[in-house]
Structure 1
């Protein structure tokens, strides 16, 4: 088993590497190659318990995805994300369950609803991996990524409820709602506690290797403890990832530079394994197809697949229209309150708090604009993945399900997963091109925001240097102002050649290399603070801020590297 797992990992990474080299979607190529490989007689069957798969693969993938999600964008798109990640999952589970029960009554209604919960959530790995490769605009990727982060929690909670009913527990609708609410609260609280502890550790420990190692371990702990307490492990990991990712710019730059390639490598390894495992499941699915039930199971699989594909757009467009109507109602109410002076009066009754401007209030009351074309992409980006397969395998081990029902659950889950990956994944590029969806608008807006924030950052940096001028004069005297002026000029050009700006004069107190390094580090710190302030004020997209922050980190790395390799002066 150990050697087989190693060979699968190596083969999957090799195929993914080829896909990345050729510019192809790696998840799709890995799945296709694994499907073909499953027919080879010398390829052993890879059997992994569904619970192990969820506990080992899901936490790091969710945490990595949450680190990359813009918290500001997530918060602004939360109404859209909530509609897809909670209500669409519930609707899909119920509709699929009813369809499955009508076609195969032997499943029983709880068993059919269990199947609905299993196939309901689109996969976080699929959405992120394929969406990034296709270059989807940020407004769409934020919704898809946010949905895939929370819909697993909804589906896994539904799975637990229906599994308990199948096992004989007497639960009603209110019990299910209570379990879901409890799972959300416990999951979020556990995640925030872990996130706060990890962030404080990142702020106080200067060893990036140690911090990176803790970062790899903590998602498993948050997931396991939340599940043990009856909460959602998925939400715990997501809450922790969002908190740590939002506060990551406040930590030492070496921590960010250490963890970025670490998580990229972990993502490549785990994503490659997940999609390879999906393809290699084909042999087991064939063995689960008994000759006497193959027609019924294939009919059920086709009906569930069709239901999954249709429910999503049939929900998204009416829900979007209803949300837009609600938004107009909210805006009209606020405008009436503002005209009557009630809004300003309420602002005055909140002493000590920053007053909310009209522009900020409008942002709070409105959702990011999505066109019908954007919703078409979102409707078609419903690929299923590892959570669907893992929960199906876990359901197959339920003692209350007979062999026929458990086989049907596994087969249907596999067919829906592979069919959505192949059908939707392969046709998404064509749909995007046909609808003219591109990230050109994002690039233009990012360019304008980058130019503006760079100007503000440069101004803040120069203001910092001017504040240091008097201190420099008092410490080194007027004779060393030439050194300071040369340094200031070079900083205005964003250069870091600190070794070339020392002015050599005899019998005077000259600034040391460490003095110049401290001055530049302060200048870099001021620029970072400008980026954070612009991000927090929602004037700069978080992804753009991270790119600019990475450039500043590179400057500081170059400065520290130059200092470490600089020959020490001799006495």
Structure 2
């Protein structure tokens, strides 16, 4: 039995990776495909029941997922969009908690107000993984993507803090707005301080290790350290992780080249694995959730689920458009600062990008089983069910239609990408010019420099100077011919392939050792990766 159970556990990541890979290959929403696969696996004959451990999710999955997102985020862009990010990650979460919670209190007989607010806090935070990936692929304006990313970084902290306050009231610890506000401010401020204090020493340590593997190991440790320290202080571990990730990611550009290459690859693989497994686990929760609802009428459950889902979607639309219509004085201030507000099309996209995910389910399963007086927590199974249907509904309805909505509104364009390409070309030109000037200064002081070496270095700098401008033409010259840099990349890749074949053949013939092969292949791989980035 133990071996069978172990095989089922092994099947979870294998299935998750297989489904995610197929979804990426065919352009299907990976989170949605994984949830559906989990649903199908959950009802398969002989499948064991997988219960989501909330502590495991909140500690093992959430910190690296948030840290990676913060690591790759632009700190200057987030600063420039602090107002809309704050409106969504704090204001919208609290508004959704109150609105959805009060509605649930009105429509569900026997659900106390504190328990209803627990449900509201659980379904309040969107998971922007799917939305951001689609937005980036379809070329949404950078500001829209920044707002969605910023919201996803901080809204979990707001929701989990509101959840803890609501649970405390529901189990009989007592509640007041003053106490709730104090808890929220303490969690946010202390969590941010922990993140800020954790960032500099970790960056100092990484910058002095001079070992790419060890430097990235420190980065892997960072989210768990920040989360644990903040939680030990009863503060927001989520905010601590995000702040430390923003700090370290902003300074990652000063790390050595090999460290950056390993780091980017490591985080891509890690996040792909974690996201795949976690969305599959969402679908696998169905049997356990349905088990506690056997006494409920199916039509009543459907009515409650549809109402809560509609409320979650409607509150986001209402809040996004209401906060966009700021007082005229604020609009004049933003105009003076050059801060362009999102237009109606962009606001619609932001409003529809409200897919829920694993944080909501983890919070739902973290609800205590009993209150302080030993009574069962009111409607715990129902809250699980309404959370699951809301997550599934947002992934199915909003997740499937999100790309079509972007195309329908005409927001998935190439204008910003073209502007980026022009800016990159100008930067490449200036950088190449600086490198040539540095080369001339160095060779002027050194008499015994081979002219062929100097000429080769000049050619490399000129190639780098031209490639960005040629990219603006799509890699083709007038008449459909390849531009010189495209020809160079194509021919050089073929040359590298020929070299690789020789090295592998010599290893197979035992003329060189595997250690030698690994070293030379690493050099070839680095050059080929550089060519693919050209």
Q: TM-score, normalised by structure 2?
A: 0.82
Shift of 1:103: 1.2
Find the partner of 1:18 among 22, 34, 56: 22
Find the partner of 2:219 among 197, 215, 219: 215
Of the structure 1 ranges 284-293 and 189-198, higher mean CA displacement relative to structure 2 is found in 284-293
Counterpart of 1:310? 314
Instruction: Trace 1:32-431 onto structure 2 (pairs within 5 A).
Output: 32-292=36-296, 294-322=298-326, 325-330=328-333, 365-399=337-371, 402=376, 405-431=379-405
| Structure 1 gap ranges (5+) | 333-361, 497-556, 566-571
* SS of residue matched to 1:493: helix
Hey, what's the Cα distance between the residues in 2 that align with 1:130 and 1:276? Answer: 19
Shift of 1:411: 0.4
Hey, what's the Cα distance between the residues in 2 that align with 1:200 and 1:391? Answer: 35
Counterpart of 1:511? none
Task: Report if aligned partners of 2:170, 2:371 keep a CA contact under 8 Å in 1.
Answer: no
Hey, what's the Cα distance between the residues in 1 that align with 2:401 and 2:131? Answer: 14
TM-aligned CA distance change 1:331 to 1:94, over 3 Å: closer
Hey, what's the Cα distance between the residues in 1 that align with 2:459 and 2:361? Answer: 57
TM-aligned CA distance change 1:456 to 1:465, over 3 Å: same
TM-aligned CA distance change 1:485 to 1:89, over 3 Å: same
Task: Report if aligned partners of 1:35, 1:280 keep a CA contact under 8 Å in 2.
Answer: yes
Counterpart of 2:462? 493
Hey, what's the Cα distance between the residues in 1 that align with 2:134 and 2:172? Answer: 40
For residues 44-76 of structure 1, the C-alpha deviation after alignment (integer angstroms, 9 at most, x for no partner) is 111132122111110111111111111111111
Hey, what's the Cα distance between the residues in 2 that align with 1:404 and 1:41? Answer: 32
Task: Report if aligned partners of 1:127, 1:148 keep a CA contact under 8 Å in 2.
Answer: no
Of the structure 1 ranges 369-378 and 281-290, higher mean CA displacement relative to structure 2 is found in 281-290
Hey, what's the Cα distance between the residues in 2 that align with 1:67 and 1:165? Answer: 36
Hey, what's the Cα distance between the residues in 1 that align with 2:388 and 2:457? Answer: 63
Hey, what's the Cα distance between the residues in 2 that align with 1:50 and 1:100? Answer: 23
Shift of 1:299: 2.7
* SS of residue matched to 1:46: coil
Hey, what's the Cα distance between the residues in 1 that align with 2:340 and 2:224? Answer: 33
For residues 182-228 of structure 1, the C-alpha deviation after alignment (integer angstroms, 9 at most, x for no partner) is 11111111112222222222211121112222222221121111111
Task: Report if aligned partners of 1:127, 1:145 keep a CA contact under 8 Å in 2.
Answer: no
Counterpart of 2:411? 437
Shift of 1:142: 0.9
Q: CA RMSD in A?
A: 2.5
* SS of residue matched to 1:382: coil
Shift of 1:368: 4.3
Task: Report if aligned partners of 2:88, 2:155 keep a CA contact under 8 Å in 1.
Answer: yes
Task: Report if aligned partners of 1:16, 1:272 keep a CA contact under 8 Å in 2.
Answer: yes
Hey, what's the Cα distance between the residues in 1 that align with 2:404 and 2:457? Answer: 52
Hey, what's the Cα distance between the residues in 1 that align with 2:118 and 2:19? Answer: 34
Hey, what's the Cα distance between the residues in 1 that align with 2:138 and 2:452? Answer: 50
Shift of 1:249: 0.6
Task: Report if aligned partners of 1:76, 1:368 keep a CA contact under 8 Å in 2.
Answer: no
Hey, what's the Cα distance between the residues in 2 that align with 1:131 and 1:123? Answer: 14
Hey, what's the Cα distance between the residues in 2 that align with 1:461 and 1:304? Answer: 60
